[in-house]
A and B are shown apart, each in its own frame.
Chain A
Amino acid sequence: MPDADPNRFVTARSTLLVDRFMTYFIKVGGLAIIAAVFAIFVFILLEILPLFRQAKVDAIGERHGPAAASLAFGVDEWGELPFTLTPDGTFHFLPATGEATTFHLPLTNTETVTAADYDQTQQVVSVGTSNGRVLQTKIAFTNTPREDGTKDVTAIPEVTGEFPLGEQGKPITSISFGESAEAKLLAVLQEGRVQASAFTVTRTMMGTSKVEKLWAKDFTNLLPGPPERLLVDEKAEHIVAVDAEGRVTVLEANEDGVEVFQPAFQPFADLPDKRIASIDYLFGDVSLVFTAPTGENRIFSLYIHKDLQKRQYGQTKELPKLEAGATAFVHSVRNKSFLLADNKEVSLRFATAATVRWQGQVDYPVRQATISGKYNRIFLLDDRGTVHDFSLDDKHPESGFAAFFGKVWYEGGDKPEYSWQSSGANDDFEPKLSLVPLIAGTLKGTFFAMLFAMPIALLGAVYTSEFMAPRLKVYVKPTIEVMASLPSVVLGFLAALWLAPLIEEKVPSVLACVVGLPASAILFGWFWTSLPDHLRSRIRPGYEFIAYLPVMLLTLVVCWELGGPLERLLFAGDFRTWWPKATGAAFEQRNSLVVGFMMGFAVIPIIFTIVEDALTNVPKDLRSGSLALGASRWQTAMRVVVPTASAGILSALMIGLGRAIGETMIVVMATGNTAVMDLNIFNGMRTLSANIAVELPEAPHGGTLYRALFLGAMLLFLMTFVVNTIAEVMRQHLREKYKTV
């Protein structure tokens, strides 16, 4: 035998290197993976943070216009070329660099512009002159992109029409114009008298349109006093008149004149100074924003009043007070935001949830303001004709804590409510983003799922662990695990297309089964165990459930058939019509009962397996001791085993709860997915998870809806995380406990 290699105990360098490398690699890799898994939380958090950010407004420059007071102040869609209109009838277009361009209205020598109305959506300026003429100018903007990404915008103004209205020679002190696809409505104030004129627009096949005058009338007598300001909505339906005492009257135009739509009301009736400092519509023209001279800011919206049974303006919101009444007001033409400025204070607000998006001080009195069509620029015009440019970064104005979790009075609604409706048909749709009904829906679905799953899973687990013959256990547990593996899309499909139509007609039968099954089990058990010994020992302990199977089938058949008579007896022949009549709640085919039953398939096996394990792991000595002391097997199970394993049972219920909270496909498929807030078992719900599945594929990346859905996902994540952590801590606690017993 040769001598042993003297180096035999020296580890090869390569082995050491590999070992060191693997140690390092596994440590880094393992930690990285664990970190990556938790990055999910961080990533979702980062996606939702912008929702709770305030608007960012920064001064980026100024441009100098004419010093004369401006009657209209507007800007193009991209926010590049603001313009003013001076009383001499000149438009001044003020580019960021270079010379201002001007455009002169065709006025006579002594004529001046005395009132103007600027429609930013259409880019139309209507002016009234000292001679009582009404002229309309349409401004077309063209743009050529510059190299630095900004746009070179040119304005092409054109006088498009002159409207003969009112008396010649008398100055017009207020003018307002509204235009929809079918109609135009013009109202002017001339020496305290209101003149209005309506036109119809008919479009020809060639794409041109023909304007016909319907009527022109004086409506001063419909108002309680001489008005100061007039406002016509963009649908060309309403004229709002405001007088010096703060009274607001709404008139409605019809085919041959105007009638009072809403008699005079005072938005600030409760204040000592009832006057109105500013009034304007919000985007969409169904809400009026008022400020009082003392700075109060209120919004009135059109909605159907319960008492009157007709649409009227009523106060829906009160926003934080300004220091003084607004001197400048402008609303965005993209969303429900508006900008208020008193002399030195500027405030950007969003109407839906009555939030202040941004507030700041400026050191010049603001006379006029405008927000660009893309909601990315703000321009303030001061008393010396200087235009101050501001960049506006506010990607999610409609969001915020109040919008997601508070009760919000939406436009058109008759009371504040929690509502989810993320998209609508029109551009001026107000998104309703309350997550509260979705959370309520999630809890409702979970509640019904647990209501059904909990008893079955707990009873089944207690039986399997405590009473069942060990030989059968080997087959039962895998069968229940098979149940856990059924894909939820399959359960959802069966729930909707098989179970829902089946149950719909058989609600009384289902109710009978719910009562009948436990009753039959107890009764049969009582009867069987009353039998003499030689008979009752035919069913060996541990095999009861097999003996119960035929009883169960019989009970099911009986209860199923009993449904019909029950329905006639108790529910007036048809449960589907009886339920809405008796409770006032809806009955839908795809309802919470169906969801609860099908979610049971997902939840039962989870609870069952964990409870069964927890019970089985209770030390044998406890059981033997109890039985030896003369307790029956039921007493042993209930008073010794179950209390010992109670932490494990609770933890199982928690995990089942977590699963039910997040279940998606069953809810998507087996309910109508309407967001409701009630506990009615016979209608559906919309859960957070279903909401994400339905809406996220269509949500534009980075938009408010997209982030709101991420917020929903975050809530789901947190809900399940909390529930599961409690369960896990309980389980650890249980493990400690077993160590000591």
Chain B
Amino acid sequence: MPHIKSNGRPAGEPLVWLTSMGLAVGLAMVFLLLYVIVTNGASVFWPKRIYAWTISDKGQTEVLWGELAKSQKKRVGEGDEIQIYTGNRDAFSASFRYVDRAVITTEELPKGVIAIERLEYGNAIGLPVRLALADGTTIPAGDDAFRGRLRSLVSEIANRRDVISVLEKERIGENSRDIYRQDLSVRRGKRTGDLAMVADAEAEIARLKLSYDELSATATALRKLQSADTLIIGLCNHKERSIVIGQIVDFHFPNELGLAARIGTTIENVWKFLSENPREANTEGGIFPAIVGTFVMTILMSVVVTPFGVLAAIYLREYARQGPFVRAVRIAVNNLAGVPSIVFGVFGLGFFVYGVGGAIDSMFFFDRLPTPTYGTGGIIWAAATLALMTVPVVIVATEESISAVGRGAREGSLALGASKWQTIQRIVLPAAVPGILTGLILAMARGAGEVAPLMLVGVVKLAPSLPIDGTWNDTDLIPFLHLDQKFMHLGFHIYDLGFQSPDSDAAIPMVYATTFFLICLVLVLNLTAILMRERLRKKFATGAF
């Protein structure tokens, strides 16, 4: 760019730099946020070393074993402090501890330390001492067979846990569902005066209760086997603690892992995080039900929103007479995209849950009342609410892509004798499909990340079962898909973990990990939409018309 005056600056040039600050700050904000999420979220899965810190404070010396959770400036006074994850919540009554850096005298990596993931009380950290087996024999930790035996015991336990879970969740669950079903028959029989029905159902209930007793006896016997063997570890305060093998989910020796093994463990951790059920008030375990819940809800939402959005857009663009009315409608549709999501939640609760759901209950599930079936929050109402919320997005995107289809193609089709619908069906819609998909993906991204309306229409912190599984309930309209059920959702999981959790220190890694996953999901959806749109723009820019 040529300068007019060589030694003077063009007017306002420093202010141009001021505007560049606006952009730089905006970009920095995005990257800072992503950085915080990615580093905190990804580091959760990386197996951390366990240190032994010697602390000398006021003449007392103490050794602490644990992972370094974070390091920060002290709240009071000068210097730094560190937060140590010591685990062993059952023994120390807390799993985290803050220590002043100044009182730490030594820091080393103790050999042979074991980190045990348990069903309850978080991790245990200590030095293995011995295995006490059910037959009375013990294997000291120094023994060559120790680790192999522990590994085989843990995997045996895990298999048996699966068996118990199937027994309790599926067979006993089915049994109690049957009892409930018969109970409904009793109620219906009493209401209609059909005494034979009542008698039949009551006999059936008695039989089912017997088989329930059998099943639960089997389960109890198996459970007993789970606690037969124990592992004894030594803690950092030189006390011994025994851990029932049945409590152990997994264990590893973090200070002995090489780089490859650590990467392997990380992958394993990620997989476990994605595929397991949550434990201990959601602060341990995985997020599998939340993923399934989010997925099913988003798919249901898409199934609802697409036909309606496309239909409305076709009407507005192809059939309605363009004039003040359509212009007003378009303004209103745009406006609706700006209506706060919570307002849709309010509507969903009032209209879908209490209105439609209540009506369905009083018509089809009368015998279950006053326990609501569809008249309470459920995945179907959540999907419907979000569909309503995202319908403007789809309408706008579809309209745009329909109007981008060239006049030539349209007129060519009509000139060749095609009817209006044939033109739309064969010419306009196929050309508009990528645009519609873009809108749909944006809608899905919004649906997957939205929480506020869901809190009103069916999200829960812990759902007893998945919205889609192998059971066929009486309330299912579509087999195996439980539309009336409450569900877990990634976004709500974050809210719940971060704000409703009893042990917030323990929950924070899980929140970051879940956030990381949700952000990845939403970003992938959005980037797909953005890329598709860019490609479309290019396609139309070079189009022949």
* A 511-547 binary contact with B (CB < 8 Å = 1; else 0): 0000001101111111011101100000001001100
Binds A, one of B44-52, B251-259, B276-284, B520-528: B520-528
Q: How far is the CB of A472 from chain B (nearest CB, A)?
A: 10
Query: Across the interface, do A497 and B498 meet the contact criterion of CB distance under 8 Å?
Result: yes
Residue total for A at the interface (Cβ-Cβ under 8 A): 115
Chain A residue nearest in CB terms to B75: A505
Query: Across the interface, do A493 and B346 meet the contact criterion of CB distance under 8 Å?
Result: no
| Size bracket of the B interface | 35 or more
Query: Across the interface, do A669 and B26 meet the contact criterion of CB distance under 8 Å?
Result: no
Q: How far is the CB of B184 from chain A (nearest CB, A)?
A: 24
Q: How far is the CB of B248 from chain A (nearest CB, A)?
A: 31
Chain A residue nearest in CB terms to B495: A489
Q: Would you call B43 an interface residue if the criterion is a C-beta within 8 Å of the partner chain's C-beta atoms?
A: no
When the two chains form the complex, which single residue of A486, A545, A724 contacts B24, counting CB atoms closer than 8 Å?
Answer: A545
When the two chains form the complex, which single residue of A29, A478, A544, A709 contacts B16, counting CB atoms closer than 8 Å?
Answer: A544
Query: Across the interface, do A662 and B343 meet the contact criterion of CB distance under 8 Å?
Result: yes
Query: Across the interface, do B417 and A549 meet the contact criterion of CB distance under 8 Å?
Result: no
Query: Across the interface, do B335 and A27 meet the contact criterion of CB distance under 8 Å?
Result: no
Query: Across the interface, do B342 and A692 meet the contact criterion of CB distance under 8 Å?
Result: yes
Q: How far is the CB of B232 from chain A (nearest CB, A)?
A: 37
Q: Would you call A159 an interface residue if the criterion is a C-beta within 8 Å of the partner chain's C-beta atoms?
A: no
Query: Across the interface, do A634 and B13 meet the contact criterion of CB distance under 8 Å?
Result: yes
* A 268-308 binary contact with B (CB < 8 Å = 1; else 0): 00000000000000000000000000000000000000000
Query: Across the interface, do A482 and B526 meet the contact criterion of CB distance under 8 Å?
Result: yes
- Asked, given contacts A487-B491, A545-B20, A724-B338, whether A34 binds B312 with beta carbons under 8 Å apart, the answer is yes
Q: Would you call A126 an interface residue if the criterion is a C-beta within 8 Å of the partner chain's C-beta atoms?
A: no
Q: Would you call B449 an interface residue if the criterion is a C-beta within 8 Å of the partner chain's C-beta atoms?
A: yes
Q: Would you call B3 an interface residue if the criterion is a C-beta within 8 Å of the partner chain's C-beta atoms?
A: yes
Q: Choose among A16, A481, A482 the residue with the greatest number of B CB atoms under 10 Å from its CB.
A: A482
- Taken together as a complex, chains A and B put the C-alpha atoms of A530 and B422 apart, in Å, by 66
Query: Across the interface, do B388 and A37 meet the contact criterion of CB distance under 8 Å?
Result: yes
Q: Would you call B323 an interface residue if the criterion is a C-beta within 8 Å of the partner chain's C-beta atoms?
A: no
Q: How far is the CB of A439 from chain B (nearest CB, A)?
A: 14
Q: Would you call B316 an interface residue if the criterion is a C-beta within 8 Å of the partner chain's C-beta atoms?
A: yes
Binds B, one of A213-221, A325-333, A356-364, A458-466: A458-466
When the two chains form the complex, which single residue of B20, B33, B339 contacts A548, counting CB atoms closer than 8 Å?
Answer: B20
Question: Which residues on B sit within 8 Å (CB–CB) of A541?
Answer: 1
- Asked, given contacts A634-B15, A724-B334, whether A489 binds B319 with beta carbons under 8 Å apart, the answer is no
Query: Across the interface, do A669 and B495 meet the contact criterion of CB distance under 8 Å?
Result: yes
- Taken together as a complex, chains A and B put the C-alpha atoms of A483 and B28 apart, in Å, by 11
Q: Would you call A320 an interface residue if the criterion is a C-beta within 8 Å of the partner chain's C-beta atoms?
A: no
- Asked, given contacts A459-B21, A467-B16, whether A635 binds B11 with beta carbons under 8 Å apart, the answer is yes
- Taken together as a complex, chains A and B put the C-alpha atoms of A88 and B424 apart, in Å, by 91
Question: Which residues on A sit within 8 Å (CB–CB) of B192?
Answer: none
Binds B, one of A112-120, A191-199, A227-235, A714-722: A714-722
Question: Which residues on A sit within 8 Å (CB–CB) of B343?
Answer: 40, 44, 662, 713, 716-717, 720
- Taken together as a complex, chains A and B put the C-alpha atoms of A548 and B17 apart, in Å, by 8
Q: Would you call B408 an interface residue if the criterion is a C-beta within 8 Å of the partner chain's C-beta atoms?
A: no
Q: How far is the CB of A415 from chain B (nearest CB, A)?
A: 32
Q: Choose among B17, B75, B320, B451 the residue with the greatest number of A CB atoms under 10 Å from its CB.
A: B17
Q: How far is the CB of B531 from chain A (nearest CB, A)?
A: 8
Query: Across the interface, do A456 and B26 meet the contact criterion of CB distance under 8 Å?
Result: yes
* B 42-78 binary contact with A (CB < 8 Å = 1; else 0): 0000000000000000000000000000000101000
6 A-B pairs in the complex with CB atoms less than 8 angstroms apart: A27-B319, A44-B343, A463-B16, A467-B19, A530-B9, A728-B331
Query: What is the interface of chain B, defined by CB distance below 8 A to chain A?
Result: 1, 3-4, 6-7, 9-30, 33, 36-37, 73, 75, 308-309, 311-312, 314-316, 318-320, 327, 329, 331-336, 338-347, 349-351, 354, 388, 391-392, 417, 419-422, 424-425, 445, 448-452, 455-456, 491-492, 494-495, 498-499, 508, 511, 515, 518-519, 522-523, 525-527, 530
Query: What is the interface of chain A, defined by CB distance below 8 A to chain B?
Result: 9, 11, 15-16, 18-19, 22-23, 26-27, 29-31, 33-34, 37-38, 40, 43-44, 47, 455-464, 466-468, 476, 478-483, 485-494, 496-498, 505, 517-518, 520-526, 528-530, 532-533, 541, 544-545, 548-549, 552, 600-601, 604, 608, 630-635, 638, 655, 658-659, 661-665, 668-669, 689, 692-693, 696-697, 701, 709-710, 713, 716-717, 720-721, 723-725, 728-729, 732
* Known A497-B498, A693-B342; 9 more pairs at CB < 8 Å: A30-B314, A34-B329, A455-B22, A467-B20, A483-B26, A489-B451, A632-B12, A634-B16, A662-B339
